[in-house]
Structure 1
């Protein structure tokens, strides 16, 4: 039954064409949980924010990207669960495929939930701490009460030592615009073509 977690993911893709992972539910860990953020130039540019839980990556599309300013409430639209090895996907999803366009691994690391994630998800407020290269400190995902067919959440930074004011946060995403794994720009990823889920060369120091 655990494979049902990836049912929507599998139904949306033709794995004879795309280089994305075919999908496999991993072990259910409760410590050293992984997270990844992938910058994705599909129909609209967005940041795919993913948290490991129940052997898959729970996913949200953050339309304007994360903000270190606690005053910003960034829309995060819930999307289908992804397989954990999708964390290593960087490249181009082919034309006429779901999500066609280049994908960059923008950040990755570990996350720690403040409470039981299932309980927090039911209550509509997931509070967690992230340890990545670009994302750090405490964050919140808060579910919105709207009649929209989509499951809309808000990604909000906590007021902690990592928070920035509006002025200091303004150029954050413009400045951090290369792959955390390969060091490539989005244009370089696009020119390289078809992506595959594989072990990638680390970015130069």
Structure 2
């Protein structure tokens, strides 16, 4: 065990004695474990998108933007990964538009365990929760996170929007938005089944594990 650990440390090309580097590596391992292992064992997830993990890591560690994050890394996140001995990268280029295959992926959330499935939402995709007539729109950014965290981020964004614009917002509009926030919080308790629908014109979004996911090609 000691010899194996020493070999791994020797192959690591970053200074793990630096407290921030150690924190980055530890948090990266935590993210990997969160997506690849659940209460029942391996989740079936084998690959995670680099840009999505970079965004998640940056947010978790409290960096204001990607420039500040990369300054701490001393380069790009991809360069940082190249210095780690147990990280393998596979480049999957986005297909050209003439090869896109539009899909609709539907998952019925039946228990809290389903909230920890990983949803890779491409920059072209929108997510619909028909029970609330609620939508997370396409924003031009790829995001990989648990379904729980996708919703938590939506709750955070809506709350911030009301806070920042309340002075110029009609009271009934603010009340409607906060009612939506409350309903989204209720969904996280999974008191009854509800539906997570990913509409993606490029067909590059994914839900993992994929068991129980209905995929329609449009």
Please state which band the TM-score falls in when normalised by the shorter chain. Answer: under 0.3
Greater per-residue helix proportion: 2
TM-score, normalised by the number of residues in structure 1: 0.28
TM-score, normalised by the number of residues in structure 2: 0.27
Greater per-residue strand proportion: 1
